Structure 1
Amino acid sequence: MNGSNGVYELAERARKEKKWLFDTGFKKWYSPDEFYNTFSQAQYSLITYLQGVKLRDPFEGIEAANQEICKLQKNVEGFTARVLTYYREKAVDKKLRDF
């Protein structure tokens, strides 16, 4: 099967542009080969699905993921500090009450 569902053409375009395919709905990356192997035998229309697939530079995806990790790390650190402060203050309050 060479593209009656549009998969072959999209995979070839990605290969030529040295890009990967990013599924914006599921946030999943596919190399051109993975994309073709996954979807080329589909017996159903992929028109709607393919509208959510974008050709992107995979290195930009790595950078975006690293930025997201940094953001999440900062959120975890901030939340951890709040929790520790809360319980430290509660422990001090309890010691003062028990004194």
Structure 2
Amino acid sequence: MAGRYRNARSGDEIERDWKEQDLVIKAREQQDKYVREHYLRIAAKAREERVWLFDPVVRAWYNPDEFEATFKMYIRSPEEVYARVKFKDPFEAIEEAQTKTSEFIKRVLDYAKKISSENEANKDKELKQKK
């Protein structure tokens, strides 16, 4: 029974560990504050320019308020924010998406016509072979 207490850490060791943990927590809080200031600056710039923020990695749009509230969950450094986020006018994005959608629909319809004509040609061949 006495052996368990001999392995216990001294008060100085415990205090040193607490101080180290406290330093780590304070450093993390400072980093979070630094990053948060950059988020606020980016959101303020977006408000000033009347644009939204687009994150191409997750393909998500954020108005400035949403950016402040949610974007901090994804990125831990301002450098990553600046490299990743794009300022865009949402109306330009709508026009771009509409153009891309129209192009995609055209491609799908062209392909469907091609497949349909190939199927008709194959049916004609099969009918001729049966005769």
Q: TM-score, normalised by structure 1?
A: 0.86
Does residue 7 of structure 1 match 2:53?
no
Cα offset for 1:26?
2.9
Structure 1 residue corresponding to 2:99, chosen from 39, 50, 67: 67
Matches of 1:42 and 1:63, distance apart in 2: 28
Assess, with a 3 A threshold, how the Cα gap between structure 1 residues 58 and 25 changes in structure 2: closer, same or farther. same
Aligned to 1:28: 60
Aligned CA RMSD, in angstroms, stands at 1.9
Q: By percentage of residues, which structure has more helix? A: 2
Cα offset for 1:34?
1.1
The list of structure 1 runs, each at least 4 consecutive aligned residues, that deviate by more than 6 angstroms after superposition, is none
Q: TM-score, normalised by structure 2?
A: 0.67
Letter in 1 for 2:34: S
Higher RCO (CA < 8 A, seq sep 6+): 1
User: What's the % identity of the aligned pairs?
Assistant: 29
Q: List alignment gaps of at least 5 residues for structure 2.
A: 1-32
Larger radius of gyration: 2
Whether the aligned pair in 2 keeps the contact of 1:8 and 1:40 (CA below 8 Å) is no
Matches of 1:85 and 1:43, distance apart in 2: 51
Matches of 2:86 and 2:51, distance apart in 1: 10
